[in-house]
Amino acid sequence: MTGVDRLTREQAAAELARLAAEIARHDRLYHHDDRPEISDGDYDALGRRNHAIETRFPDLLRADSPSHRVGAAPSEAFDKVTHGRPMLSLGNAFEGDEIREFVVRVRRFLGLGDDLTVDLVAEPKIDGLSASLRYESGQFIQGATRGDGRVGEDITLNLRTLRDIPLRLSGDELPDLLEVRGEVYMAKGDFETLNAQRLADGEPPFANPRNAAAGSLRLLDSKITASRNLHFFAYAWGEVTPPPSGSHWDMLERFERWGFIINPLTRRCADVDQALAFYDELAAARAELPYDIDGVVYKVDALDWQDRLGMVARAPRWAIAHKFPAEQARTRILAIEIQVGRTGALTPVARLQPVTVGGVVVSNATLHNEDEIRRKDVRVGDTVVVQRAGDVIPQVVEVVLDKRPGGSVEYVFPRQCPVCGSTAEREDGEAVWRCTGGLLCEAQAVERLRHFVSRDAFDIEGLGEKQIEEFWRAGLIKEAADIFSLEAHRAAILESSGWRETSVNNLFQAIEARRHVSLERFIHALGIRHVGETTARLLAGFYGTWEKFLEGARAAQDREGDAYVALKEVDGIGPKMVETLVDFFTDAEAIAMVTALAEVAPPEDFEAPRGETPLADKTIVFTGSMEAMTRAEAKARAKSLGAKVAGSISKKTDYLVAGGGAGSKAAKARDLGVTTLDEAEWLAMIAGAGDGRPLDRVLPGPCPFGTAAAPTGPSW
């Protein structure tokens, strides 16, 4: 072999190309196929030669060079990356029956006849963290965390160190552009070794392999990531050009050919019974697997069906997670304390003798509400079974009665707010006691502000819970609007500990940068009960501007008037939400608060995410039955094209789509002069809008996808 110092530039370039391919092939043989062809010594020699050539010709460093596997110099912070398509989360189920219902819903949505079966792909649900990998012309060019689903962090350098992630795709029929999604995880064995090492070095151990993987991936020094031996299973995709066709299973096979690792337990199931049998098998094998899994994910195999099913909120209708039962442990209740939430809800929390549940130390568990405490008869001093499932707050499952100490007394739920002393109220039909102190209650005020600045709301960098509490206590921020005049208190802030000139300047800049958020974020930030992100978005889409929203919500107080009727008609807004919204806007204090806020920080008008479509901003009503699609699919389609779907005809209706057997609605539409479309006209109207896929799958839109727990159970 020619000595490195004698290589010409051309020879060096050619050899680096050959080494990149050869080392990648050995990586695959070793890590994926488990049949290495050369000794570790020979493998290392290839790496050393590659490194030596690169050192002599640094400008010849290739994007797919194996030396990226060893990591790069530390950087300052991660850049933000907007995913080509949002990274979705999954609806959860715990019971087999819920999975059967899932399939029934899929069938109903698609209007499938009995002759058609729904093939499912069942995959282990890997307990790691998801990442998105972007390939252009076969080269790995960028890797990102999930972040809020729409925007993640650029962790390319760290991901490049994972041997399971090809730096260049292999095989043929490579897409021009490919976003591969999958899970980064740490094997249980590597986790044990890492923790033993950390303890020996006097560093705190990680709670579980998932945290260890997360901690190892979000390091600014990718050399450390490289030493952590993280792995990656590919199981989904985002933007792909040209778009894939066929089945999910075919796509996984393509992934394999391109060099990714697919979980070997993945199975194609011809029906729900096979899928559930797979779940049982996996549950039994779980403890023996070399990595943590927390359930099974079922995905409708046919991609054209996936496309038609689309998504709801931030989860696909074509997939569902079937979680394993939560992990449990026993411990003792030291005290029961009451927490006051932003809407005044009093939530009892059990303070526990710390106990490890599924690898995580738990010292608090929620007791939900008064009825739950009574139902389980939970008392201070009791030994209880606590459980945690995934990321959810630990819960008290039951009391171990034979361990109850003598003389224990029933817990009496307070009738007063423990923070401000105001009386608590419990409305008819509600399980929750609420503090009536409103914004006078410190807890409520602070919680509201915390919600206001949280990630899915105003998301002001550098203004987190801690700072909000600090400013509240100092009297600098009493309500949301005050945030935008915080600069007036510069001197006072600088006097308090922890703030320096630069950090204060950064904070003011960050506040300024978020002065005008989207209308949906703004509405969500107000913290109105039952108005979460999805509802806020629906409302923003319905009213379009802050002024119209405020006017509409205030006018809706008149339960007989048009404004109330219109609000009730917004598809997806339930009666509870309507009532709490109307209530919120009857409260003079609340109105003063939001008006002051909108004055100093007016939100942007709602922007339909999808540009011009024939249905954008139209109000549409469906009646009767259609041949080509079910009513549910038609509604979803209309919404994804920017339309508002209403339940009944009014003057505001733009179109009535009348399928077979349409009755009184068609007559009413005629009376009111509303345009009526038959099925063929409806299909013609939506044909050509987008490329046949629901647009909510094509365009990310401005919708803020939060990282809060995935929706529990599909709501469609």
Least distance to ligand IVH, CB of residue 321, Å: 5
Please give the residues from 318 up to 337 whose contact with ligand IVH meets the rule CB under 6 A: 319, 321
Among residues 125, 618, 644, 665, the one annotated as catalytic is 125
Q: Which stretch binds ligand IVH (CB under 6 A): 120-128, 200-208, 539-547, 591-599?
A: 120-128
Q: Considering beta carbons, is residue 663 or 713 the nearer one to ligand IVH? A: 713
Does residue 148 interact with ligand IVH by CB under 6 A?
no
Whether the CB-CB separation of 700 and 89 falls below 8 Å is answered with no
Distance of CA 129 to the CA centre of its chain: 11
Coil/strand/helix, residue 698: helix
Enter the DSSP assignment of 70: G
Q: Considering beta carbons, is residue 128 or 541 the nearer one to ligand IVH? A: 128
Coil/strand/helix, residue 136: strand
Does residue 236 interact with ligand IVH by CB under 6 A?
yes
Does residue 7 interact with ligand IVH by CB under 6 A?
no
Two structure tokens written together for 62: 């290739």
Does residue 291 interact with ligand IVH by CB under 6 A?
no
Does residue 183 interact with ligand IVH by CB under 6 A?
yes
CA of 210: how far to CAs of 77, 91, 128, 321, 507, in Å?
22, 20, 5, 18, 32
**Stretch (H or E) spanning 255:** helix 248-258
Least distance to ligand IVH, CB of residue 130, Å: 3
Enter the DSSP assignment of 495: H
CA of 684: how far to CAs of 612, 654, 679, in Å?
16, 16, 9
Enter the DSSP assignment of 60: G
Q: Considering beta carbons, is residue 124 or 344 the nearer one to ligand IVH? A: 124
Whether the CB-CB separation of 408 and 381 falls below 8 Å is answered with yes
Q: Which stretch binds ligand IVH (CB under 6 A): 17-25, 124-132, 206-214, 577-585?
A: 124-132
Which phi and psi (to 5°) does residue 635 adopt? -65, -45
Q: How far apart are CA 443 and CA 420, in angstroms?
A: 8
Q: Which stretch binds ligand IVH (CB under 6 A): 313-321, 575-583, 607-615, 661-669?
A: 313-321
Closest Cα partner for 557 from 537, 573, 540, 580?
580
Q: Which stretch binds ligand IVH (CB under 6 A): 69-77, 119-127, 277-285, 379-387?
A: 119-127
Least distance to ligand IVH, CB of residue 236, Å: 5
Count of positions on this chain that bind ligand IVH (CB under 6 A): 15
Whether the CB-CB separation of 645 and 699 falls below 8 Å is answered with no
Does residue 689 interact with ligand IVH by CB under 6 A?
no
Does residue 316 interact with ligand IVH by CB under 6 A?
yes
Rounded to the nearest 5 degrees, what angle is found at the Cα of 704, between the Cα atoms of 702 and 705? 125
Q: Considering beta carbons, is residue 319 or 443 the nearer one to ligand IVH? A: 319
Q: Which stretch binds ligand IVH (CB under 6 A): 54-62, 97-105, 122-130, 639-647?
A: 122-130
Least distance to ligand IVH, CB of residue 204, Å: 25
Q: Considering beta carbons, is residue 282 or 333 the nearer one to ligand IVH? A: 282
Does residue 302 interact with ligand IVH by CB under 6 A?
no
Does residue 123 interact with ligand IVH by CB under 6 A?
yes
Q: Which stretch binds ligand IVH (CB under 6 A): 125-133, 200-208, 481-489, 490-498?
A: 125-133
Whether the CB-CB separation of 477 and 471 falls below 8 Å is answered with yes
3-state helix, strand, coil in the chain (%, to 5): 40, 20, 40
Q: How far apart are CA 307 and CA 295, in angstroms?
A: 24
125 as an active site residue: the answer is yes
Does residue 578 interact with ligand IVH by CB under 6 A?
no
Residue where the block lists tokens 């919500």? 553
Does residue 297 interact with ligand IVH by CB under 6 A?
yes
Does residue 303 interact with ligand IVH by CB under 6 A?
no
Q: Considering beta carbons, is residue 94 or 484 the nearer one to ligand IVH? A: 94
Which phi and psi (to 5°) does residue 70 adopt? -90, 0
Whether the CB-CB separation of 292 and 191 falls below 8 Å is answered with no
Whether the CB-CB separation of 208 and 358 falls below 8 Å is answered with yes
Least distance to ligand IVH, CB of residue 100, Å: 20
Does residue 278 interact with ligand IVH by CB under 6 A?
no
**Stretch (H or E) spanning 41:** helix 40-56
Q: How far apart are CA 706 and CA 716, in angstroms?
A: 19
Whether the CB-CB separation of 367 and 378 falls below 8 Å is answered with yes
Q: Considering beta carbons, is residue 131 or 598 the nearer one to ligand IVH? A: 131
Q: Which stretch binds ligand IVH (CB under 6 A): 19-27, 84-92, 379-387, 472-480?
A: 84-92
Two structure tokens written together for 394: 């630990």
Does residue 710 interact with ligand IVH by CB under 6 A?
yes
Whether the CB-CB separation of 31 and 24 falls below 8 Å is answered with no
Does residue 88 interact with ligand IVH by CB under 6 A?
yes
Whether the CB-CB separation of 628 and 681 falls below 8 Å is answered with no
Does residue 99 interact with ligand IVH by CB under 6 A?
no
Q: Which of 90, 275, 378, 662 binds ligand IVH (CB under 6 A)?
A: 90
Q: Considering beta carbons, is residue 226 or 321 the nearer one to ligand IVH? A: 321
Q: Which stretch binds ligand IVH (CB under 6 A): 2-10, 121-129, 203-211, 422-430?
A: 121-129
Does residue 125 interact with ligand IVH by CB under 6 A?
yes
Rg value, the chain, Cα? 28
Please give the residues from 35 up to 54 whose contact with ligand IVH meets the rule CB under 6 A: none
The residue at minimum Cβ distance from ligand IVH is 130
Residue where the block lists tokens 């007036």? 488
Least distance to ligand IVH, CB of residue 126, Å: 4
Does residue 89 interact with ligand IVH by CB under 6 A?
yes
Q: How far apart are CA 413 and CA 434, in angstroms?
A: 12
Q: Which of 109, 235, 278, 471 binds ligand IVH (CB under 6 A)?
A: 235
Coil/strand/helix, residue 335: strand
As annotated, the active-site residues are: 125
**Residues of this chain that bind ligand IVH (CB under 6 A):** 88-90, 123, 125-126, 130, 183, 235-236, 297, 316, 319, 321, 710
